[in-house]
Chain A
């Protein structure tokens, strides 16, 4: 049976922040063990992405 007593607020959409998700994903990848070169590249790539993220945040993120 449907839950007619559910609060309307429960239906509110919790949209994940893309930049936070990106940052979390990168950090998760960084924490994974890997080869030195791959880890180094991963770190540099993460820094690059975080730099892009910061740029977008500084300009105000919006949906296209």
Chain B
């Protein structure tokens, strides 16, 4: 960076200052008597650049304002490393309000606004902060070079220190994070303790809940049972009422179906009583049912038998219908009417044919007897008598003495056979006629049987519509043994009550009365049961409240355990993170060790380079009186004078030599600074030759001009310079400036 113009107003001792057309290359010599403002001029330059001065602390910066003024300003026109021209303006008031702007001179664009932004840009261009600036490019009066601090800035340690600071910040953040996690874990463990979980409590609660649920189920079952009893009694009452109605509705003189219905109603009423009694719902209630049941059974038996016999009649009717051919025959049926009739007809027809054949045969025999008699008499008389009469007589005389051999006798003997045959024919025809008569009789009997069958068939259905007593009478008239005898017996002495309407009505009335009594007894029982049922219904509700409470406790306990699991997982997760953080901290510690090693290496390299450069510069600036200037690791300075073998400490040297060597060290450090920037730089030296004699001053100026062309612009203040020095690029007479300002 090169200064092209310096302008100020009310800064330090200058009311107004404006140094224009400053040379970019060469020496700017500033002369003047004491208190003429030589040092102030360089202080204004430093203030314009950094907002600082060498002699004022940062919090006393307002003192830079000229006495009597309320505010001051300084403006620089400079050439930056990018070779462009910029204008830097700073203003400050007595309150310490400090403003700064930096903008391009040519196009008036603002590059930085505000002290911080401007300071950052200036530091970037110059290559260092204000303190290194004081130790390198700006030599202020009464300020000794502090090489240690500056060298640490110049050798690059600051960069590594910045990294180290970052690492330390990260380390600190990690440790804070670790502490926070420890605190978080402690808080989580406190939360677990606060949950107050007892390991066996959940099992006990679940057992209690299960028991309570069982009690609720038992109570609900009790309620159901009470409700069932209540419903049973209500139903029993209704059935009893129905049975009473049925008993009342059915008259005595009714058909069998209604008798059966009556029996079923009675049976239903009795069964209802018995079921209620079996269920124990009527404990304490007298149920006079046994007598009725016995009466019913005694009454039911003939009814059943009668029904069975009537059913037998119906079966017989069906068999008759099948016999008559009105229904298809069953496999085990006897021959039907048709087959019997055919059989009788066949026998009749056969008998008729036989009788006719017998008749014809008798006719033939009646014809053959006279013929045979005539033929036999003729043949005996004509042919046999002559030939065999004697023999026959002899035989007769021998065997049948007394029997005469006559013609009539022979005739009779000869015709005996046909007569016998005729006799047999007469007998056979008589027999055949009997069979014909028998067949006719069978036909008549069959017809009569058919009539009777139809009578039975027609009568049986008709009797079903009659009252039972009439039905039985009609059926008896059918004379279908053997049940007729049974009915006679039942209607006789044994089951008088069955047919006795008075007895029946009495029994019915008795049963109805008992049922009504029972109904009357059931009413208070039902009321009691309802009261007990209502009481029983309260028990499940009470138990359900307990169950709900237990369920809530169980859920709370489960929730606490779930919460504990979650917290333990969180603690475990934090453990994992802690491990990572601890590892990161370890890595940063190792990295800091590396940084320290690298810083030491860097310092060593810089020290070696600095000593090398000083070994070159010191003989040049001291005209060979000193060989070199050395800095040890503690930045103690020693020099090696000409002719000496051992180095000499600075304290042993004269003030002039010290200032001379300090200037050499400053030049070396300035070069170190310039090594970091690509631009040429200015050098500001305030009274550098205060303790120099004229010759040394001249030698230093000459050496300075040749040591490094990058130090292009050199500001030097002195009370006076040699004449040849004043031939420099610019000579500023501060005395004249003060007078003009």
Contact = CB atoms under 8 A, between A and B. Distances in A.
B675 A26 contact: no
B671 A48 contact: no
A11 B613 contact: yes
B669 to A, nearest CB: 8
B591 interface: yes
Interface string A7-21: 010111111111101
28 contacts: A2-B619, A6-B616, A8-B707, A8-B708, A11-B620, A12-B675, A13-B613, A13-B675, A14-B609, A14-B675, A15-B606, A15-B609, A16-B606, A18-B156, A18-B157, A18-B598, A19-B156, A45-B587, A45-B588, A48-B587, A48-B588, A48-B591, A49-B163, A49-B595, A56-B163, A60-B124, A63-B159, A64-B123
Given A12-B675, A15-B156, A25 B609 contact: no
B153 interface: yes
A62 to B, nearest CB: 5
Pick from A1, A21, A25, A63 the residue with the most CB of B within 10 Å: A63
Nearest to A23: B598
Contacts of B162: 56, 64
A15 B672 CA distance: 6
B163 A53 contact: yes
Contact of A29 (B597, B627, B676, B708): B597
Nearest to B626: A2
Nearest to A42: B590
Nearest to B128: A63
Interface string B375-400: 00000000000000000000000000
Interface of B: 123-124, 127-129, 132, 153-160, 162-163, 166-167, 586-588, 590-591, 593-595, 597-598, 601-602, 605-606, 609-610, 613, 616-617, 619-620, 622-624, 627, 642, 668, 671-676, 706-709
Given A8-B706, A25-B601, 11 more contacts: A6-B620, A8-B707, A12-B613, A13-B610, A15-B606, A18-B159, A42-B594, A48-B588, A49-B163, A64-B129, A64-B162
A17 B602 CA distance: 8
A20 to B, nearest CB: 9
Interface in A23-56: 25-26, 29, 41-42, 44-46, 48-49, 52-53, 56
Contact of A63 (B132, B587, B595, B601): B132
A15 B129 contact: no
Contact of A13 (B124, B597, B609): B609
Contacts of A22: 160, 163, 594-595, 598, 602
Q: Which are the 8 A-B pairs with shortest beta-carbon distances?
A: A2-B619, A18-B156, A2-B624, A45-B590, A45-B591, A13-B671, A25-B598, A18-B159
Contact of B602 (A21, A26, A44, A62): A21
Contact of A44 (B157, B587, B593, B709): B587
Given A2-B619, A8-B708, A56-B159, A15 B676 contact: yes
A2 B620 CA distance: 7
Contacts of A18: 155-160, 598, 602
A21 B157 CA distance: 10
B587 A13 contact: no
A26 to B, nearest CB: 6
Contacts of A1: 624, 642
B156 A21 contact: yes
Nearest to A20: B156
Contacts of B159: 18-19, 56, 61, 63-64
A11 B671 contact: yes
Nearest to B156: A18
B166 A63 contact: no
A17 B708 contact: no
Contact of A3 (B586, B598, B619, B622): B619
A15 B132 CA distance: 15
B597 A64 contact: no
Nearest to A18: B156
Contacts of A4: 619-620, 624
A61 to B, nearest CB: 6
A18 to B, nearest CB: 3
A63 B675 contact: no
A19 B676 CA distance: 13
Contacts of A45: 587-588, 590-591, 593-594
A49 to B, nearest CB: 5
Contacts of A8: 706-709
Nearest to B667: A11
A44 B672 CA distance: 33
Given A15-B155, A41-B590, A49-B163, A63 B129 contact: yes
A32 to B, nearest CB: 11
B588 to A, nearest CB: 7
A60 B610 CA distance: 25
A60 B617 CA distance: 31
A64 B598 contact: no
A26 B587 contact: no
